[in-house]
């Protein structure tokens, strides 16, 4: 029979385990939603010349948006473990069907499509792996819900979402003993397990790379605390990624960032450029509050001079997520062509809330940043201290309409020039 002392120990341990499980399963960044928008997005404001409508609603935690080769929209419902298709069958600009494509997944987030000479695949990033599913473009269905695992990732942690996208091969030669020669690469973003720490694996706080078949997994860039979203510049084809800075340095430090993720050069000893975390932030600034007694990894350094500076610095705690470049010849202003739109998910631990909007940065068509000052593009989710939504992903369709996911209210917005 258990003694009272042993029972007490069991209760304490169980409580601690529950607390740890909550910590690692929760996104932590969830302020109370104090006002829910109506079926008409009347709370939201845009510059003159644009209209905004609700394309899809009644979704559960919608995050990543992707379009299949036929133009159908797929969305990851991360907490629900689903990938769904939103169809506009009557072409009235609003989804009238929600079709489950995949379910019973483990925190699915990133989505992308890839076609080889025989098969079109839907790739889905769960928190612990990336799977690919043969996809029938005509029917909009996967051939099987089992999927083929092509990359193993470290699961869960403080930042548990994994984002993926196909892009070009930036390397001049092979890596890992002859691998890495494919024309196309799958890039995978994995956030840190903590706020600030020394990770025990190179697969965290990094953007990883693989070939489409998953023959190998390698580090492409490191020192990225939580680059939840990334995209490719339409002209330079370079990777542009958002980055969330650490907490507990006050209201205004460190800045959140936009980084251009470049391939390693001869000067990068371990085959991947470093972007600062956990030792540095902003423009090579040393984090004086992080001074671990022991550093077990030899592939990271506390020397900020060896890190790559951000191309854009953003107000701390804004929580930048999705980003997209304004397309050419799709009805948008010629002056805005190539400008960068960024979704600011919003602060959760700042004394005065910031973010909760979509902003625009002025760039030239070659990707040079002309101004560090953001211009509001969609705002109104934050009114005083009241929060009515949190923008996540930004995706343009082939016709130039912009779609915005809101994981707090379960809505996909559609933005179009009038």
374 prior amide bond cis, ω within 30 = no
Phi, psi angle pair for 199, to nearest 5°: -70, 150
Mean of per-residue pLDDT scores for the chain: 91
Cβ-based neighbour number of residue 17 at 10 Å: 10
pLDDT digits (tens, 9 = 90+) for 185-224: 999 999 999 999 999 999 999 999 999 999 999 999 999 9
3-state DSSP assignment of residue 23: helix
Encode pLDDT of 337-381 as tens digits.
Answer: 999 999 999 999 999 999 999 999 999 999 999 999 999 999 999
Query: For residues 37 and 411, what is the distance between their CA atoms, to the nearest angstrom?
Result: 10
Q: Specify the pLDDT at position 2.
A: 46
Nearest to 75 by CA among 406, 416, 378: 406
CB atoms within 10 A of CB 238: 17
The pLDDT of residue 1 is above 90: no
Please tell me the predicted confidence (pLDDT) of residue 22. Answer: 36
With beta carbons less than 8 A apart as the criterion, state whether 137 and 3 touch.
no
Cβ(137)–Cβ(143) under 8 Å? no
Span 295-332, pLDDT tens digits: 889 999 999 999 999 999 999 999 999 999 999 999 99
Q: Is 305 helix (H, G, I), strand (E, B) or coil?
A: helix
Residue 65: partners with Cβ closer than 8 Å, 6 or more residues away: 73, 74, 75, 393, 395, 403, 405, 412
Measured between its terminal Cα atoms, the distance across the chain in Å is 75
Distance (Å, whole) CA 222 – CA 271:
10
The pTM score is: 0.91
Calpha distance 329→133 (Å, rounded): 34
pLDDT for 73: 98
Burial class (CB in 10 A: 0-12, 13-18, 19+), 413: buried
Please write the tens of the pLDDT for every residue from 175-185: 877 788 899 99
Q: How confident is the model at residue 269 (pLDDT cuts 50, 70, 90)?
A: confident
Query: Backbone phi, then psi, for 29, in 5-degree steps?
Result: -100, 65
pLDDT of residue 30: 55
Residue 17 dihedral angles phi and psi, to the nearest 5°? -65, -40
Domain 40-417 homologous superfamily, CATH: TolB, C-terminal domain (2.120.10.30)
What average pLDDT does range 58-80 have in this prediction?
Answer: 97
Give the rounded percent of residues in the chain with a pLDDT score beyond 70. 90
What count of other Cβ atoms lies within 10 Å of the Cβ of residue 349?
12
Q: How confident is the model at residue 40 (pLDDT cuts 50, 70, 90)?
A: low
Quick: pLDDT tens for 104-149: 999 999 999 999 999 999 999 999 999 999 999 999 999 999 999 9
Give the number of other CB atoms < 10 A from CB of residue 415. 22
| Cα gap 89→300, rounded to integer Å | 52
Asked if residue 39 has pLDDT above 60, the reply is: no
For the residues 86-102, what does the mean pLDDT come to? 95
CA separation for the pair 314, 312 (Å, rounded): 7
Give the tokens for residue 407.
Answer: 């994981």
Q: Do 332 and 326 meet the contact criterion of CB atoms below 8 Å apart?
A: yes
Task: Report how far apart, in Å, the C-alpha atoms of 176 and of each of 129, 179, 215, 267, 270 are.
Answer: 21, 5, 11, 18, 12
């Amino acid at each position: 029979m258990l003694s009272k002392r042993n029972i007490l120990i069991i209760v304490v341990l169980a409580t601690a385990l529950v607390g740890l499980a909550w910590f690692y399963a929760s996104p932590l960044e969830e302020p109370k939603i104090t006002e829910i928008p109506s079926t008409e997005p009347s709370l939201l404001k845009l510059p003159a010349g644009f209209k905004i409508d609700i394309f899809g609603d009644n979704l559960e935690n919608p995050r990543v948006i992707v379009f299949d080769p036929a133009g159908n929209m797929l969305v990851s419902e991360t907490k629900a473990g689903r990938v769904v298709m939103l169809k506009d069958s009557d072409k009235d600009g609003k989804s009238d069907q929600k079709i489950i494509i995949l379910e019973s997944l483990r925190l699915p987030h990133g989505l992308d499509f890839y076609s080889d000479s025989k098969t079109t695949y839907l790739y889905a990033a769960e928190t612990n792996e990336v799977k690919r599913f043969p996809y029938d473009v005509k029917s909009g269905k996967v051939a099987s819900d089992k999927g083929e695992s092509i990359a193993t990732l470290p699961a869960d942690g403080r930042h548990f979402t994994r984002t993926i996208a196909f892009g070009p091969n930036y390397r001049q030669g092979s890596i890992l003993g002859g691998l890495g020669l494919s024309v196309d690469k799958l890039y995978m973003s994995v956030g840190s397990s903590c706020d600030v720490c020394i990770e025990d694996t190179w697969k965290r706080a990094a953007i990883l790379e693989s070939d489409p078949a998953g023959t190998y997994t390698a580090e492409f860039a490191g020192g990225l605390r939580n680059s939840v979203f990334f995209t490719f510049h339409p002209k330079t084809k370079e990777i542009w990624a958002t980055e969330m800075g650490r907490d507990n340095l006050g209201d205004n430090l460190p800045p959140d960032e936009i980084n251009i993720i470049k391939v390693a050069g001869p000067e990068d000893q371990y085959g991947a450029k470093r972007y600062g975390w956990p030792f540095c932030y902003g423009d090579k600034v040393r984090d004086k509050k992080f001074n671990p007694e022991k550093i077990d990894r030899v592939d990271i350094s506390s020397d900020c001079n060896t890190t790559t500076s951000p191309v854009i610095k953003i107000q701390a705690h804004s929580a930048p997520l999705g980003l997209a470049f304004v397309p050419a010849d799709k009805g948008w202003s010629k002056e805005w062509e190539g400008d960068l739109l960024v979704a600011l998910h919003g602060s959760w631990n700042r004394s005065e809330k910031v973010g909760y909007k979509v902003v625009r940065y002025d760039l030239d068509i070659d990707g040079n940043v002309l101004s560090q000052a953001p211009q509001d593009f969609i705002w109104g989710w934050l009114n005083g201290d009241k929060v009515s939504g949190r923008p996540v992903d930004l995706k343009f369709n082939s016709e130039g309409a912009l779609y915005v996911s809101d994981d707090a209210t379960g809505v996909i917005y559609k933005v179009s020039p009038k």
